[in-house]
Structure 1
Amino acid sequence: MEISGYPHYENVCSNILKFYLDPTNEHGLKDLVLNSLLHLIDKDFQFDIDFEQIEVYREYRTINDNRLDLVILTENYTIGIENKIFHHLHNDLADYKNTVKSLCYNSRKSICIVLSMNKLTSNEDVEKINANDFVNVTYEQVFQNVKQNIGGHLNISNISYINHLTDFIKSIENLTPKTMENKALWTFFKTNSEIIQELTNSFNEYKNLLFQKIHQLNDAISKEEFAPLADKQWIYKGSSLLVLVHDYTVNSQYKLAVDTTIDVNGWQIQLFGRNSKSSDFIFNVMCKDNNFLPKPFENYERGERLIYQRFDTDIDISTVAKTLTDLLTRIENYKKRTDENNGI
């Protein structure tokens, strides 16, 4: 259905709805779709499929010679449905209401529905709906009821028509993600594409300048001078970040790392374990050693990683280098103490 583009057309959707709203059709789902819709408006709605007659009309001619998308007649109800996929609610709801009411002979109760992709929220639409006794229902609400109640119909229905209904539901749902609600934003993008492109280019240049600071920091932190016991000092290159990394092994088994990175939010120096065993050691043993961290362990931000320090993007690299050097020295001193205690 998506390949054909059919769900974009209200007429096609209304034709499909007409088929599934009629409990007597060969889909075998009986009154599943009818109840899924009508119970949203009237919880007491009932249709006796064994004894009641039902008529479902498409493009029903109204009193003022307009066309109402769907009209359903049961013994107890007259239901008018205006189906809105993308278009604005410019319809003559007063004419629709009067037409539905004109069919309410034999004590029928009238129900008037605007079935829409998204909830209609503009003041004009809401006022028009309320003034003419319509109720706005979304496809999402109807489909939620269908999904909740379809289980009881699977054994008696035609599986091919279940597949068709599922395809219809998925096609409509794919038209209603947040991207479909971002038309105003997309219009802004189109209207301001040149300045947005200019800003994007400038932003990318800014990020590249920040990443250059990682290389400058790497040059400032000599492995021979500041981190002779590190397993490795290297730069990790991701798709959107650069990281100066120092890897260590403590007690010949615990793998820890120090990541120093920068983005538009600033610098971060992070301490973490390469595996769960190492993380447990770092956070439950190493960081609780009174001689390791300059502040009590509880004073640091911590998720899966401990945030040793943060800096603004504009801070002098020498300050970042000094703080990083302090942490690397603390790790080396801790490593020496534990290695000596373990006779390594």
Structure 2
Amino acid sequence: MTVVDEQSNTIRSGLARALDISVVIIVGVWHLAYVGPSLVLSIPAYRSAPVELVSWCVLAVLLALGSYRLLTARRLAAWPWTAAAVLATGAVAVSAVPGDEITGSANWAFGDVVLIGVLLVLRERLIAFGVVFLANIALNLAALTIGDHHLDRAVIARFVVIACADGIMIPSAVLLAARALDDVAAVAGSATRRRARSQADRQVADALHEDRRARYEALRSRVGPILDGLADGTLDADVADVQRRCAIEAARLRRLFAESDDVPDPLLHEIRACASAAERRGVLVELATAGHLPRLPLQVRRSLTEPVIEALAATGSWARITVYGEPDAVVVSAVGDCGGAADPLWLDARWDR
């Protein structure tokens, strides 16, 4: 997982935890501060007050378990069992409510069951919410149909209003808030990824610009004096030392151009570029390789090719370059005739991991 993905997940988990805490507070306040007083004030109307009190306590326990589940991100049981427990408790509470009070304040379980059910199945699939909503409405409708013998349009209208408000609208608002926060988290994660990608691109562009500027300054500091000297006549192109300096800088230029090429063996590619500059002067260059070359950093490759450039610049007619590689070491050797001298010129460089 990348750093950007970790940032996206952090945003998503932070928003999800904020929603969990909000739902726990809302449902807890509802159950204690609203349902509790309604239950106490309606005790004379119940068929059995102990049944109502026990049901309220059982729902409080389920609320506490659901809160623990959300706040600790632990699974207590499969959602059908938790949904069945809260619906069964609600059915028991409704059974003690007289039929003509099903649509009144005495039927506190109508909205309470659904809110606690939402808390219990908040991180489950959408079908879990549908089951809790519809089953709760069906239980209360059955209790109303069986218990109230004076059904009329007013009673039915009140039931529909309560079903829409307590049974659907309030819990649906929680569900929509959860979905909205998930969408916000996705957007925030996408924005984080785009910002990180933009920053990475800008850093790469700045690094490339700085590298090119450094190369230009290095070239100007070496090649500039030679070109100025040749232009104003202070350097003579027929002098061997001037020719050697020109050959060295020409080889370095070719190496510089080769460094940006995407090739399997960058070191060999840059050595061939240096040899090409010597071959243009009529030098016969032989290149031999052995072993397997590891992937080397740019500065290491430059250090290994410097002896090759020096040897080729001093060579008059022939040169031999040998490259030997192994996983932990690379040796580059260059041998040349050194302009007709008795002993050949031999330079080498070695890199060890």
Indicate the TM-score class for this superposition, using the shorter chain for normalisation. under 0.3
Q: Which has the higher helix share?
A: 2
TM-score, with length taken from structure 2: 0.23
Which of these two proteins has the greater Rg computed from alpha carbons? 2
Greater RCO, CA 8 A, separation 6+: 2
TM-score, normalised with respect to structure 1: 0.24
Structure with higher strand content: 1
